[in-house]
């Protein structure tokens, strides 16, 4: 496996952002450690950075580095050990009528309209509900790594789009948006199940699911995928569960 010494990572610089309001835990300030310059972060370099807990948003590669908080835990799903629970199996059955296909990072008006509907429904007033086409492109269609759009359709109509990065050891779920009228289908769950199956078929051992925060209800769903590994104390380890089998 490629090591950091074999990559241009020694030419990267890492800086801390100024403090800003945390979007997950009210009342706290957050900071991020950012890797620059962006042109050096190709798929191989980003794969190594992802193993160290970094994520990507457009050309922005970062990980949380808060002054007085370590609540953000990078998590990943080992696909060979993963077995869907009963609720996840029901979700898979419920969405058997969906087709999916990997698409290049090319602007699609239907995708953008779906993105707008999703933001207005789920994140009204948060700023992203006002994203124009250029902001949409910068956020979802700008990448220097191996990225693709996983498009889901129902009877020929696009109902969900998931941005995915292919790493050397897995797939990274970057962002997904879906038809808010189909919320009862559990499309977010279906997306993770699909990514786990795609990774297995590609011979990739992990699906990277971003950050989990114990105090954030938005992040709670990630503990439903087991066994789940977290990057803690400088290495990946399985996160514990309660004695009754629920996530701790």
Report pLDDT digits (tens) over 64-73: 999 989 999 9
In this predicted model, which residue has the larger pLDDT, 62 or 5?
62
C-alpha 118/C-alpha 180 separation (Å) is 6
Average pLDDT of the segment spanning 83-92 = 97
Predicted confidence (pLDDT) per residue in 5-39, tens digit? 555 566 899 999 999 999 888 899 999 999 999 99
Q: Are residues 192 and 89 in the same domain?
A: yes
The CA distances from residue 68 to 65, 145, 197, 228, in Å, are 9, 32, 38, 25
69 with 109, same domain: the answer is no
Q: How many other β-carbons are positioned within 10 Å of the β-carbon of residue 56?
A: 23
The total of structural domains in the chain comes to 2
Q: Are residues 97 and 115 in the same domain?
A: yes
Report pLDDT for 127: 61
Per-residue pLDDT, averaged over 116-125, amounts to 83
Q: Is residue 248 part of a domain?
A: no
Residue 104 lies in a domain: yes
Mean pLDDT of 198-219: 94
Dihedral sign of CA atoms 196, 235, 240, 81 in order: positive
Separation in Å, CA 29 to CA 18, 68, 219: 10, 9, 18
Q: Examine the domain organization and report whether 63 and 82 are in the same domain.
A: no
In the predicted model, is pLDDT for residue 215 greater than 50?
A: yes
**Do the Cβ atoms of 190 and 91 come closer than 8 Å?**
yes
Out of 52, 73, 94, a domain closes at 73
The parent domain of residue 184 ranges over 76-225
Query: To the nearest whole number, what is the mean pLDDT of the chain?
Result: 91
Report pLDDT for 248. Answer: 37
Terminal Cα distance for the chain, rounded: 33
Q: In the block, which residue shows the tokens 């310059």?
A: 37
Would you place residue 160 in the very low, low, confident or very high pLDDT band (cuts 50, 70, 90)?
very high
Domain containing 108 — which CATH number?
3.40.630.30
**Does residue 246 register a pLDDT over 50?**
no
pTM above 0.85, yes or no: yes
């Amino acid at each position: 496996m490629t090591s950091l010494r074999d990559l241009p990572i020694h030419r990267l610089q890492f800086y801390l952002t100024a403090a800003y309001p945390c979007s997950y835990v009210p009342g706290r300030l957050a900071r991020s450690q950012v890797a620059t310059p962006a042109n050096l972060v190709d798929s191989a370099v980003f794969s190594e950075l992802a193993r160290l807990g970094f994520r990507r948003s457009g050309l922005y590669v970062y990980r949380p580095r808060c002054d007085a908080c370590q609540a953000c835990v990078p998590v990943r799903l080992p696909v060979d050990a993963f077995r869907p629970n009963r609720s996840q199996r029901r979700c898979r059955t419920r969405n058997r009528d969906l087709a999916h296909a990997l698409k290049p990072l090319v602007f699609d008006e239907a995708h953008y309209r779906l993105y707008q509907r999703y933001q207005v429904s789920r994140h009204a007033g948060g700023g992203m509900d006002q994203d124009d086409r250029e902001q949409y492109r910068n956020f979802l269609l700008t990448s220097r790594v191996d990225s693709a759009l996983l498009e889901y359709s129902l009877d020929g109509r696009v109902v969900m789009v998931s941005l995915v990065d292919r790493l050397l050891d897995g797939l990274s779920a970057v962002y997904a948006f879906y038809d808010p009228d189909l919320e009862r289908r559990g499309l977010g769950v279906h997306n993770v199940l699909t990514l786990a199956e795609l990774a297995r078929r590609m011979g990739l051992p992990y699906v990277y699911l971003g950050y989990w925060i114990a105090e954030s209800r938005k992040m709670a769903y990630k503990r439903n995928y087991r066994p789940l590994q977290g990057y803690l104390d400088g290495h990946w380890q399985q996160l514990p569960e309660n004695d009754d089998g629920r996530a701790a």
